[in-house]
Structure 1
Amino acid sequence: MATYDQTESRGHSKPLVVMTGGTGLIGSSLIERLVDRYRLVNLDLEGDPESSPHVEFIPTDLTSDTSVSRAVERIAGQYGSHIASLVHLAAFYDFAGEDSPLYDEVTVEGTRRLLEAITKLRVDQVVFSSTMLVHEPTTPGKPIDEDDAIEATWPYPESKVETEDVVSEETTAETKAVVVRLAGIYDEMGHSPPITNQIKRIDGKWVTSHFYPADLERGQAFVHLDDAVDAITRIVDRRSDLPDDVEILIAEPVTLGYGQLQDLIARELHGTDWTTMEIPEAMAKAGAWFREKNPFGEDPFIRSWMVDRASDHYEIDISRARELLDWKPEHTVDEVVPEMIRRLEADREGWYRENDLTPPATIAA
């Protein structure tokens, strides 16, 4: 097990950043960006204590008072009472869309438990990872900004709305709070369930890939993993200059409609645009329900509850991120999807495995 010299830690010139969720997709990349300039402690339920000599891993269960208290006591004893930034990424998420007590136990109350525990220390900044989905959807051509209406409509964003309130309630006057509302994350390997499942349907030439229960011009905003990590890094670096309490939306400012993304994927896979037809919601719900209940069919990604969300459109105004962070994305999803497809075609089995998907039967055969 990695060991740390307490005297050296207390006298170290590098500021201390404490993270939760550091073993996840965003967290592991953020560690790489911060490790040269900060001392890092990762609080996570699971992880490898030997994974990096520069990052201390402290096993922490956010649903347990005892576990969280012990983690904070260990930080204080090892590093002293001053935390430059607490970057809170850990949360519960289930793309099946069904409600779960873990949304409250992990995301909401786990955050409350953590923030209550760290009041024993001096914390300059708390960064909470939220989602753009807390906002009421918009229509094409009308970008959402941070002051627009909050209206979460399914369990995941609802839990984020509740937790944003917890952050506001539990953060002390001496601590700045930054809520980062992220668009959907992706990278060159995929790692985005909406995009990778859309690729799977078109790769397998599924009949269902030709139908959509909403306006094809509507879509979801995305942001590349590297750009999201860059934004969070800037938030940590600029902690002294940011407002005391602020929300920041992080996304690519151009949102592709569902139909545009269909055509882009199909051109890369099959060399042609994809015929996609709008169908009534009731028909789509019936089809999704049947696929969910069919034990012999493909495991469906499109669930009946998603049909209600198909017309939701998220297009983001990133003016605040530009102003406060001097940030803008260096990637766009339309430029990266071709690389996703190249990697898929280079190693189909590996690509589907990396994205926790079963290859479509027409391809696997």
Structure 2
Amino acid sequence: MPAEKGKWKMSEQKKETILVTGTSGGIGYPVAKRLAEEQHQQPSYNVVGFDRKAPSYPSPSAECLHVDLTKEKSLRRGLQAIRDLHGDRIASVIHLAAYDDFSGAASPLYDKVTVQGTRQLLQLLQEEDFNVEQFIFCPGSRSLYTMSSYQRRLAA
């Protein structure tokens, strides 16, 4: 039986949704691509990507939406698209959208994108009553490759 407009099929409703932000970045792109490839082989979840740039990869198993986390209206539209397509349950938000600068200098873009964008994403997920099971935050590649002072002492 075909789904009514604005409704989803029962089988689609049961699929988990994974939201990946920053899907055109150096970390977000491979994460979203890998999830989409796995999804294509064994459909068990919906992969949705948010990025302020156009979709980086054409994939029949993922949806990449043009969403700017620093703009409330854009973020609300993206979240509404998820709700319309997949409901209000998100199994995992993999939040990789961030401004990364290796210079070490203070940057207003870091605050705008990484701090304020993250705050707004969390706030709107709560305001819009999304049921989020897991929120993973990796603010840029520096967080993956920079050693802590403790790690540097151990390595010395």
* Common topology (TM > 0.5): yes
Tell me the equivalent position of 1:23: 24
SS of the residue corresponding to residue 20 of structure 2 reads strand
Tell me the equivalent position of 2:80: 73
Match of 1:55 among 62, 68, 92: 62
Change (3 A) 1:39 1:102: same
Separation (CA, whole Å) in 1 of partners of 2:62 and 2:9:
12
Tell me the equivalent position of 1:91: 98
Higher CA-based Rg: 1
Q: Indicate if the aligned counterparts of 2:18 and 2:48 stay in contact, CA closer than 8 A.
A: yes
Correspondence 1:64 to 2:64:
no
Separation (CA, whole Å) in 2 of partners of 1:64 and 1:31:
22
Letter in 2 for 1:126: F
Change (3 A) 1:10 1:68: farther
Tell me the equivalent position of 2:148: 135
Q: Indicate if the aligned counterparts of 2:52 and 2:66 stay in contact, CA closer than 8 A.
A: yes
Match of 2:89 among 57, 82, 86: 82
Separation (CA, whole Å) in 1 of partners of 2:9 and 2:29:
22
Deviation at 1:138, TM superposition (A): 4.2
Deviation at 1:38, TM superposition (A): 2.3
SS of the residue corresponding to residue 124 of structure 1 reads strand
SS of the residue corresponding to residue 27 of structure 2 reads helix
RMSD: 2.5
Tell me the equivalent position of 1:122: 131
Letter in 1 for 2:132: V
Correspondence 1:111 to 2:96:
no
Separation (CA, whole Å) in 1 of partners of 2:111 and 2:72:
15
Aligned sequence identity (%): 34
Deviation at 1:50, TM superposition (A): 7.0
Separation (CA, whole Å) in 2 of partners of 1:78 and 1:108:
28
Q: Indicate if the aligned counterparts of 1:22 and 1:42 stay in contact, CA closer than 8 A.
A: yes
Change (3 A) 1:10 1:135: farther
Tell me the equivalent position of 2:49: 42
**Deviation sequence 1:215-262 (CA, Å, 0-9, x none):** xxx5xxxxxxxxxxxxxxxxxxxxxxxxxxxxxxxxxxxxxxxxxxxx
Letter in 1 for 2:67: T
Change (3 A) 1:83 1:9: farther
Letter in 2 for 1:129: C
Q: Indicate if the aligned counterparts of 2:18 and 2:93 stay in contact, CA closer than 8 A.
A: yes
SS of the residue corresponding to residue 84 of structure 1 reads strand
Letter in 2 for 1:19: V
Separation (CA, whole Å) in 1 of partners of 2:148 and 2:56:
38
Separation (CA, whole Å) in 1 of partners of 2:8 and 2:96:
28
SS of the residue corresponding to residue 94 of structure 2 reads strand
Instruction: Spell out the pairing of 1:175-324 with structure 2 (5 A cutoff).
Output: 218=156
Q: Indicate if the aligned counterparts of 1:81 and 1:122 stay in contact, CA closer than 8 A.
A: yes
How many residues end up aligned between the 2 structures? 139
Q: Indicate if the aligned counterparts of 1:9 and 1:78 stay in contact, CA closer than 8 A.
A: no
More strand by share: 2
Deviation at 1:107, TM superposition (A): 0.1
Q: Indicate if the aligned counterparts of 1:83 and 1:123 stay in contact, CA closer than 8 A.
A: yes
Deviation at 1:96, TM superposition (A): 2.9
Q: Indicate if the aligned counterparts of 1:10 and 1:80 stay in contact, CA closer than 8 A.
A: no
SS of the residue corresponding to residue 115 of structure 1 reads helix
Tell me the equivalent position of 1:363: none
Change (3 A) 1:6 1:29: farther
Moved more, 33-42 or 48-57: 48-57
Letter in 1 for 2:87: G
Separation (CA, whole Å) in 2 of partners of 1:9 and 1:31:
24
